[in-house]
Amino acid sequence: MKCNRWLSLMSASLLGCALAPIVGQQAIGNQPSQIAVGTSIWRNGSFPVEGFQGYTSPFGYRSSPTGGYSTEFHTGLDFAAPTGSYIRNWWAGRVISVSDDTACGTSVRVQSGSWIHVYCHMQGYAARDGQGSYIVDGGLRIREGQTVRAGQRIGRVGMTGRTTGPHLHWTLKYQGKLVDPAAVLRAMRRSQDSTVSLK
């Protein structure tokens, strides 16, 4: 599912925010290196969840969703979707770890050049065999070391780990530093807009 299929789903509040560029190296091959308006490289990304219903928690400081008056830093962007909705890999890369024993629940981490993207609260569980660790979710099996394409289904929305409802928590890091996923989605939107305007 490339970005042109999901742009109409993006909320006005998400698109209205200012875009904060990341200073980095130039793109190498097909790896995104910076968030810049109109950069065509962003067309290579895929929206990370099918059955999208809305954004439920943005990147940054927030009140604890499990109650009380505590404040915590939310490391990603949450996408509400019905339980069982497919999760799609954002960018072509390699699965570097799978897990099911943290607050992130059943999760997959993918590396794409200098970027790491993490998918949390998935259905299924982690298992291990003679070839290493993998996630099992019905007919889906995602293994550490596996190469995954942009848009490839890598799991389904669940409620594993610390969560109050079915959703995908999506974290992005560039060169080890957290990035607001909303900025990436806005860059993808603008990249598509610039492509459409040239036609």
2-6, 58-62, 110-114, 169-173: range with lowest mean pLDDT: 2-6
| pLDDT value at 4 more than 50 | no
| 3-state SS, residue 123 | coil
In this prediction, residues 83-93 reach a mean pLDDT of 97
Q: Report CA-CA distances (Å) from 51 to 80, 85, 105, 166, 180.
A: 8, 6, 20, 11, 22
pLDDT for res 194: 66
What pLDDT, on the 0 to 100 scale, is given for residue 39?
63
80 pLDDT above the threshold of 70: yes
DSSP-assigned letter for residue 2 = B
CA distance 149 to 188: 17
Tokens of 150: 């942009």
Contacts of residue 86, Cβ cutoff 8 Å, sequence gap at least 6:
49, 50, 51, 153, 155, 156, 157
pLDDT tier for residue 189 given thresholds of 50, 70 and 90: confident
139/155 Cα distance (integer angstroms): 10
Domains of the chain and CATH, by start: 3-198 (2.70.70.10)
Residue 27's pLDDT is: 32
Does the pLDDT value for residue 19 go beyond 90? no
Greater confidence, 124 or 34?
124
Spatial CA neighbour of 99 closest among 135, 66, 64: 135
Kindly state the percentage of the chain with pLDDT values over 70: 72
Report the pLDDT value the prediction gives residue 99, as an integer from 0 to 100.
Answer: 96
Does the pLDDT value for residue 29 go beyond 70?
Answer: no
User: String of b and e for 68-99 (b: at least 16 CB within 10 Å)?
Assistant: eeeeeebbbbbbbbeeebbbbbbbbbebeebb
Please say if the pLDDT value at position 57 is more than 90.
no
Residue pair 121/160 in contact by the 8 Å Cβ criterion: yes
CB 140 within 8 A of CB 124: yes
Average pLDDT over residues 166-176: 95
How far is it, in rounded angstroms, from Cα 39 to Cα 27? 10
